[in-house]
Amino acid sequence: GGGGGGSDENEVVAGTAPGFPPFEMKQDGELVGFDIDLLEAVIDETEYTLASWKEFEFKSLIPALTNDNIDVVAAGMTINDERDQTIDFTDPYYSSNQAIVVRAEGDFSPGSLSDLSGHAIGAQKGTTGESVVQEQLIDGGSLDESNYNSYGNYVLAVEDLQNGNIDAVVIDQPVAETFAAQRPVTIAFTYETGENFGFGVREEDDEFTQALNSGLAAVQDGSTYQDLTNKWFGQ
Ligand code: GLN
């Protein structure tokens, strides 16, 4: 572990960004979710102890990690090359594609990214969903920059979709499914990105990273991983 926050050398502090159900969210004021349970189970398998959780906006998690404010990120964070230049990741623990979410009762039902052109689209700042909008739509000239709305968290984006302020939200598929089960929104189509989520760690914390990888393997080999999947994804 690092120096971040814990008084004991083996105490670590974890960071997350609630508003990304069922991975992390607030329930009756409490931080809960698949990532929360999974990281706690993984750390239980190691010599480290979890001192506390800290909450951030998603886009602030990597700076918080590199500033030693936290020691590990558990936030449905996709392992990708851009992030890999600044931080390291554990082995992957979940796979996802992107989903395009629209109002369930609306008359806008896009079937592909090109159908989004000319519409107001939302995503969360600093995410791979935002990258899809940027790289596939804005850079390609099919969406004007002014049609893109970025939000500090996905709950605000989906609320703006419900309110009719925007027409679609680009978001990780399991999270889209959770919103669709709880709110009057639906998945119009999915866009395959083949993402893998990992816990984010500092590049220099090799020992801690290896401990997390061993812990993750133990949790996946036993019944815990499946139990947590059943608990949070209901399958
Ligand atoms: N998986 C996406 C990413 O890594 C979104 C994560 C999130 O919003 N918590 O960018």
Domain boundaries, the chain: 11-93+198-233, 96-195
Given the candidates 3.40.190.10, 1.10.645.10, 3.30.1490.190, 3.40.1160.10, the CATH classification of the domain at 96-195 is 3.40.190.10
The ligand 1 atom nearest the CA atom of 78? 4
CATH architecture for the domain at 11-93+198-233: 3-Layer(aba) Sandwich (3.40)
Please tell me if the domain spanning 11-93+198-233 has the same topology as the one spanning 96-195: yes
pTM of this prediction?
0.95
Distance 164 CA to ligand 1 centre (A): 24
Q: What percent of the chain has a predicted confidence (pLDDT) above 70?
A: 96
Say if residue 7's pLDDT is above 80. Answer: no
Provide the ipTM.
0.98
The neighbouring-strand residues paired with 73 are: 15, 200
Distance 106 CA to ligand 1 centre (A): 26
Per-residue pLDDT tens for 16-69? 999 999 999 999 999 999 999 999 999 999 999 999 999 999 999 999 999 999
Q: For the residues of 12-79, what is the DSSP string, one character each?
A: EEEEE-SSBTTTBEEETTEEESHHHHHHHHHHHTSS-EEEEEEE--GGGHHHHHHTTS-SEE-S-PBP
Rounded to the nearest integer, the mean pLDDT of the chain is 95
